[in-house]
Structure 1
């Protein structure tokens, strides 16, 4: 066969072969690809045979960083949300900025991981903490796949972050952005702002809210369905108050007035199509900037505003956690910082 003839001898001749894995080290990358093809033709690529196990083990040891990332992306695209996939791919691009994609995955050591995180922490001082979590999870998968024997990111540590209070909107700031959006003819996005503050919903959840999720009779809003998965992968229900109902009915009438017979999503563009999340968040950010409001304010702060309001009204933390759809109550505790401060002030003044 031509394929066999083209494989370089590498000085092996017909000498006796000892450790098969040592033999593989003498072949070039091009030769390895030919061996993989030939192994498949002769049926020795199966893990049921000793030869197949040798071939498969060597193939795993030759996996490059880029190849491993591509395989990992196939996995997460199947079982994670689009936002999580996009975040992982952003982390991968950061990784490849400092470590070449053609480098063998098995050669990445703890020192490489530490150097990588030091560099990323300089260019992304806030995002580096999330990137480290992603790398740990990713390389744990590579260990499970037997691509590597241990996770080089497992013991990498970053300086502890100082916990800051969540940023929320004041009533005055909310009125400013609402009126600013109305003035620009963005009535639907203005309603989405108010709805986020009333419900504590994430932007992705609002954007994917369907009329089939709305139960006006029992006054219940269901978040999550067969077509849309929440961040926690759990369906939750929010009781509908009068302000929520008013916003929903206003948008229902708005769609009917435009002749939208086949309605699906609650918050839609004038042409009846679903909004892009970036369009919604950028619209708010533009109004924030034009009115000289703090630059730290953004869409997710609307959700924090809802949580802070509930906390200030002494709503039990477990209830707030359920309304927000948090994975654990620990995530919710940060919204009670100001409430605790008021209690501490009362205690000090009582002395």
Structure 2
């Protein structure tokens, strides 16, 4: 069996690649090349008696896995996800469990942990569960554990609440409190397209088809939609005005961002979100209003105008109709008609 030292994007550590009947790999748990070479020299791959036999898992402690997973997330996902989901979730788990090997963490341990968090905060329990389950799925991929201990634990149920939305009049109130025209354009486009903030900030001119009056949300090497599915949104007259006014700012190229402060540099999503929140606060509107409220408002306006829920699903890009059905409560006339049949 031949052995090689490699490095890939899945882990910050050097990996030993073994080529025999099947290609397998094992982590050296070090980023230092010399230490990795020592590991390579001393590592003896286990011989498989049967083709189906899985290579023995590599042991790693909870704390070391946390450090490795943080590096992976920082290279793959947003800083916001790392700071607001991954780090708090692991810190919480480490307070409940000692620094034991990952393979020693049982479903019973996880059940007791989630129950403990749930008794204090239902929302925190739900967020920690989702985040840590994803992390332990990666541990399975990395051959640290054979089975994810979260698999046998049910997702904590959180109280459902109806989405907050604003009317056109309230949007105007917010825009009146915003001085920056770029911000006004982004907020208005979000309201009349239902696009996610990340989609708006990644939108380039090759997404815009002025001839057919469409925005085509595209996947690329630099950007993937949340569901990894492309979708089409007709351009509202107010959005059409914004796009055409921005297009005439200069000789735009298809690869340029539609919304930018410095050409070629993507805007910071957290900053834009805070500016919208600031405008809503200045307008003295509901404190629960945030940037995603613009997407809720787009969907709510469509439902209230009797657009069928499946069309709304397509415009929003929801992969499951159940996600879109949170807006069905707005069809009050349908509910009244149903009751009147009794």
Is it true that 1:338 corresponds to 2:330 in the alignment?
Answer: yes
The answer to whether the 8 A contact 2:165-2:297 is kept is: yes
User: What are the equivalent positions in structure 2 for 1:140-289 lying under 5 Å apart?
Assistant: 140-157=137-154, 160-181=157-178, 185-226=179-220, 227-253=222-248, 255-256=249-250, 264-269=256-261, 273-289=265-281
Question: What CA distance in whole angstroms lies between the structure 1 residues aligned with 2:288 and 2:201?
Answer: 22
Among 284, 287, 290, the alignment partner of 1:292 is 284
Question: What CA distance in whole angstroms lies between the structure 2 residues aligned with 1:178 and 1:126?
Answer: 32
The answer to whether the 8 A contact 1:168-1:297 is kept is: yes
Moved more, 107-116 or 312-321: 107-116
> 1:44-77: per-residue Cα shift (whole Å, max 9, x none)?
4334479xxxxx74x723x111333344456666
How far off is 1:152 after superposition?
A: 2.6
Moved more, 286-295 or 263-272: 263-272
Cα gap change, 1:317/1:244 in structure 2, threshold over 3 Å: closer, same or farther?
A: same
How far off is 1:144 after superposition?
A: 4.9
How far off is 1:331 after superposition?
A: 0.8
The residue matched to 1:237 in structure 2 has which SS?
strand
How far off is 1:284 after superposition?
A: 0.8
User: What are the equivalent positions in structure 2 for 1:292-311 lying under 5 Å apart?
Assistant: 292-311=284-303
> 1:13-52: per-residue Cα shift (whole Å, max 9, x none)?
xxxxxxxxxxxxxxxxxxxxxx99766325x4334479xx
The residue matched to 1:336 in structure 2 has which SS?
helix
Q: What residue ranges of structure 1 are gaps of 5+ in the alignment?
A: 1-34, 51-55
Which structure has the highest helix share of the two?
A: 1
The answer to whether the 8 A contact 2:73-2:82 is kept is: yes
- What is the TM-score normalised by the length of structure 1? 0.74
Q: What residue ranges of structure 2 are gaps of 5+ in the alignment?
A: 1-34, 50-54
The residue matched to 2:216 in structure 1 has which SS?
strand
Question: What CA distance in whole angstroms lies between the structure 1 residues aligned with 2:80 and 2:314?
Answer: 22
> 1:161-209: per-residue Cα shift (whole Å, max 9, x none)?
332211111233211111111xxx3111111111111111000000111
Which structure has the highest strand share of the two?
A: 2
Count matched residues. 302
Question: What CA distance in whole angstroms lies between the structure 2 residues aligned with 1:260 and 1:140?
Answer: 43
Cα gap change, 1:36/1:210 in structure 2, threshold over 3 Å: closer, same or farther?
A: closer
Question: What CA distance in whole angstroms lies between the structure 2 residues aligned with 1:298 and 1:138?
Answer: 28
The answer to whether the 8 A contact 2:166-2:297 is kept is: yes
How far off is 1:338 after superposition?
A: 1.5
The answer to whether the 8 A contact 2:205-2:253 is kept is: no
**Higher radius of gyration, 1 or 2:** 1
Among 314, 320, 327, the alignment partner of 2:312 is 320
The answer to whether the 8 A contact 2:89-2:131 is kept is: no
> 1:216-239: per-residue Cα shift (whole Å, max 9, x none)?
122121112323211111111212
Q: Over aligned residue pairs, what C-alpha RMSD do you find?
A: 3.3
Is it true that 1:68 corresponds to 2:65 in the alignment?
Answer: yes
Question: What CA distance in whole angstroms lies between the structure 2 residues aligned with 1:298 and 1:178?
Answer: 14
The answer to whether the 8 A contact 2:61-2:102 is kept is: yes
Alignment partner, residue 53 of structure 1: none
Question: What CA distance in whole angstroms lies between the structure 2 residues aligned with 1:141 and 1:270?
Answer: 37
Question: What CA distance in whole angstroms lies between the structure 2 residues aligned with 1:278 and 1:221?
Answer: 24
User: What are the equivalent positions in structure 2 for 1:72-91 lying under 5 Å apart?
Assistant: 72=69, 89-91=86-88
The residue matched to 1:60 in structure 2 has which SS?
coil
The answer to whether the 8 A contact 2:260-2:267 is kept is: yes
- What is the TM-score normalised by the length of structure 2? 0.75
Question: What CA distance in whole angstroms lies between the structure 2 residues aligned with 1:159 and 1:305?
Answer: 28
